[in-house]
Amino acid sequence: MVEERNSCEDCSAESCGAKTRNDGESEQDFKDRQALARRLCMIDHKILVLSGKGGVGKSTVASGLAVALGERGRRVGLLDVDIHGPSVPRLLGLNDTQVTGSQDSINPAVTGSGVRVMSVGFLLTGPDDAVIWRGPLKYSLIKQFLKDVEWGRLDYLIVDSPPGTGDEPLAVAQLVDDADGSVIVTTPQMLSVSDVRRSIAFSRKVKLPVLGVVENMSGFACPHCGKESDIFGSGGGRTMAEDVGAPFLGSVPIDPAMVSAGDDGGLESYLTGETAGAASFAALVDRLVELVEVGEK
């Protein structure tokens, strides 16, 4: 376990950064940059979850990684910046959450297993709200989430960004310049595999190391006879990962129980139970931890 630190005073000047004001930088921008650096300095590992298109289970995988890391004793935050379709609150049963705080401080929601969650969904009053969020507004909202949310000391911050390579993942990549890297979610079909190549190219372009590829909805274990069948095929994610020289982190099967758990806001109970999905995420997290905590005691 990492020792609890009270403030960023414990961190080295290098890792905190933002010691001097840049040429032409306003006093407020400098203060914001300092506050962001102090907040991020309290978080050891930052991982961005990406996908080439919607519906591949990116938010489910982001939530699964967060809960499974928590099960391994890590302190975890989950930030959902999917402005046009935030699904983390629904999956984790936090739909009715009202976040509290003051001008420069927002308290995250905390799940039953202790994952600290902030989602743009907590602030939207209806589906039409998102229409007004244009590029610069999205950037400042994401900056505010990273800077003002009381994440506390975390081992991991998992960021769920919208599908594609738009403003949101770009903002996160720019604001979190010491991120460990990205986890790319795909399904086995060749079409989504080609979509995901774009996410990999994006990740590399913004200097975000590709930590690995996850193949979701890979194979189906029949709940009645237990026989495995490959509804969408399987292995596309592994082949693509090999092609582009990215690690393959593992796969998650289609499990009808995961769909109903997500629909009912019970994904966390599913992920902490004796389920096929929980076992897959535990194995994924083993590999992830090996990759990002290498060299740490």
Q: Which residues bind ligand ADP (CB under 6 A)?
A: 51, 54-60, 87, 216-217, 252, 254-255, 258-259, 262
Token pair 């001097």 in the structure block, residue: 20
Residue 66 or 258 having the CB closest to ligand ADP: 258
- DSSP code of 2? P
Q: Which is nearer to ligand ADP, 25 or 263 (CB)?
A: 263
| DSSP conformation class of 43 | E
User: Rounded to a whole number, what is the distance in angstroms from the first to the last CA of the chain?
Assistant: 9
CB of 294 to ligand ADP, least distance (A): 28
C-alpha 136/C-alpha 123 separation (Å) is 18
Residue 175: CB minimum distance to ligand ADP, A: 21
Q: Which value, in Å, is the radius of gyration of the alpha carbons in the chain? A: 19
In the complex, minimum distance from the CB of residue 156 to ligand ADP, in angstroms, rounded to a whole number: 19
Cβ nearer to ligand ADP, comparing 87 with 119: 87
Q: How far is the CB of 185 from ligand ADP (least distance, A)?
A: 7
Residue 60 vs 165, nearer CB to ligand ADP: 60
- With 0-12 CB in 10 A as exposed, 13-18 as middle and 19+ as buried, what is 96? exposed
CB of residue 253 vs ligand ADP: minimum separation in angstroms? 6
* Shortest separation between residue 173's beta carbon and ligand ADP, angstroms: 19
* Identity of the residue, 77 or 277, whose beta carbon is nearer to ligand ADP in the bound complex: 277
Residue 27 vs 274, nearer CB to ligand ADP: 274
Identify the sign of the CA torsion 81, 85, 91, 93. positive
Report whether 277 contacts 65 (CB < 8 A).
no
Q: Give the C-alpha separation, 296 to 288, whole Å.
A: 14
- Cα distances (Å, whole numbers) of residue 88 to 119, 233, 274, 277: 7, 27, 22, 17
Contact 252, 281 (CB under 8 A): yes
Q: Which of 199, 156, 152 has the alpha carbon at shortest distance from 289? A: 156
Shortest Å distance, C-beta 228 to ligand ADP: 14
Greatest extent of the chain over all pairs of C-alpha atoms, in Å: 67
Pick between residue 217 and residue 240 the one whose CB is nearest to ligand ADP. 217
Indicate the length of the chain as a whole number. 297
